[in-house]
């Protein structure tokens, strides 16, 4: 049992940690570079991390570390709103764990993650920012004002999810083709020696 845990840890360190670091770097860079509001890869990379990475903790670390590093450079805001934003961006990592091996689940998870982010973060803005009256009319005004951001969130989450999962699929196909070529060459070399 201890040896299998050691192998699993070694695999995570060798494969998952560099991938997680790349995702965090992508997220931070995308947040710092000019972009349309809410059109960032954070939720998509959280979903990707939850689906691909072997470690649950590492998958959750991706969006949280990306947001923390980005916010350290961009500046913070109301801690209660930040808490809701962080939690809603970590949720796709949890949902990605549930959708592992079920490719048909990815599209509904992406869309639901975008909608949950919209609903929860705008509720937090209404409740904690003081920008809107604390009544039903203020809540409705908050959600109406946020509608343009919903479009960017959905489009960004879809585009970044397609990019990340598509690149992963393509990398797997290229790797598989390379593995097949290596096996074919080895087999040809072996049969060439046998004929000689």
What is the predicted pLDDT for the residue at 181? Answer: 65
Structural Rg of the chain based on CA atoms: 21
pLDDT in tens, 138-192: 999 999 999 999 999 999 999 999 999 999 988 888 875 665 666 556 555 666 5
pLDDT score for 103: 74
pLDDT at site 178: 66
pLDDT, residue 105, reads 81
Q: What is the pLDDT at residue 100?
A: 79
pLDDT tens string 97-141: 887 777 778 889 999 999 999 999 999 999 999 999 999 999 999
Whether the per-residue pLDDT at 194 is higher than 90: the answer is no
b/e map of 1-28 (b: 16 or more CB within 10 Å)? Answer: eeeeeeeeeeebeeebeebbeebbebbb
Reported as half-sphere exposure (CB side, CA atoms, 13 A), residue 17 has a value of 7
Chain segment 3-61, per-residue pLDDT in tens = 676 676 666 667 899 999 999 999 999 999 999 999 999 999 999 999 999 999 999 99
What predicted TM-score, i.e. pTM, was given to this entire model? 0.83
The set of residues, in sequence order, having a beta carbon less than 8 Å from that of 1 and lying 6+ positions away, is none
């Amino acid at each position: 049992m201890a040896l299998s845990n050691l192998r699993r840890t070694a695999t995570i360190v060798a494969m998952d940690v560099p991938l997680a670091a790349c995702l965090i770097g992508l997220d931070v860079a995308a947040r710092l570079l000019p972009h349309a509001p809410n059109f960032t890869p954070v939720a998509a990379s959280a979903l990707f991390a939850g689906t691909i990475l072997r470690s649950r903790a590492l998958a959750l670390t991706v969006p949280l570390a990306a947001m923390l590093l980005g916010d350290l450079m961009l500046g913070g805001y109301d801690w209660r709103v930040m808490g809701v934003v962080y939690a809603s961006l970590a949720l796709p990592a949890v949902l990605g764990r549930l959708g592992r091996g079920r490719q048909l689940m990815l599209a509904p998870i992406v869309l639901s993650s975008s909608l949950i982010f919209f609903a929860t973060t705008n509720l937090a803005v209404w409740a904690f920012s003081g920008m809107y009256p604390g009544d039903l009319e203020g809540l409705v005004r908050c959600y109406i004002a946020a509608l343009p951001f919903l479009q960017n969130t959905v489009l960004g989450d879809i585009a970044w999810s397609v990019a990340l999962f598509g690149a992963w699929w393509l990398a797997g196909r290229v790797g598989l083709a390379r593995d097949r070529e290596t096996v074919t060459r080895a087999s040809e070399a072996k049969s060439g020696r046998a004929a000689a």
